[in-house]
Structure 1
Amino acid sequence: MDTQSINKILDDINADRSVPRNIRTAVEQAKTDLNNDKHDPTVRISSAISILDEVSNDPNIPMYTRTQIWNVVSMLEIMNEEVKEK
């Protein structure tokens, strides 16, 4: 699985002005960490999962955005398992 679809969803969340700024900032940080080629893939994926998991518990997050974040986290967990198997 590649990161293009994940990046697209994260960009959509970041562009949604109904999402609070702190959540958009965290989503942007998760995207930056995920695409940072200086680190091992498992570290990048784990960092993004951690950030997104934390922000998904924010009480101010719109329900649709929370669902999108959960979907991204699921995709990242699958990607992490694929990387560990190699």
Structure 2
Amino acid sequence: MTMAINDDIKMLISSIEEVQTDNTMPRNVKEKLSEVVIILNAEDAEGSLRINKALDKIEEIVDDTNLQPYARTQIWNLASILESL
């Protein structure tokens, strides 16, 4: 994986951590976002595989019918960053 993508992943992880610190974000969403961070930090998998796994996990979060609209928007923003990598 190139250095630019690694830097982008680090910035994305920083954005995820920022969303996790939001006190209004549901706990189950924070836990799933923690799983996304673990997936993105995994050194044993290829970059594109890590990105696809992370996108799958984010789609699980967005599919939650109890998710508030503002939270869904924040999660979609993370997904769009991931898709651009």
Partner of 1:57: 63
Could you list the runs of 5+ residues in structure 2 that have no partner in the other structure?
none
Query: How far did residue 62 of structure 1 move?
Result: 2.5
For residue 3 of structure 1, give the secondary structure of its aligned residue in structure 2. Answer: helix
Partner of 1:16: 22
- Structure 1's unaligned 5+ residue stretches are 80-86
Q: TM-score, normalised by structure 1?
A: 0.81
The reply to whether residue 32 of structure 1 matches residue 38 of structure 2 is yes
Structure 2 match to 1:72: 78
Identity %: 29
Deviation at 1:4, TM superposition (A): 2.6
Which contiguous aligned blocks of 4+ residues in structure 1 show a shift greater than 3 angstroms? none
TM-score, normalised to structure 2, is 0.82
RMSD: 1.3
Alignment: residue pair count: 79
Match of 1:82 in 2: none
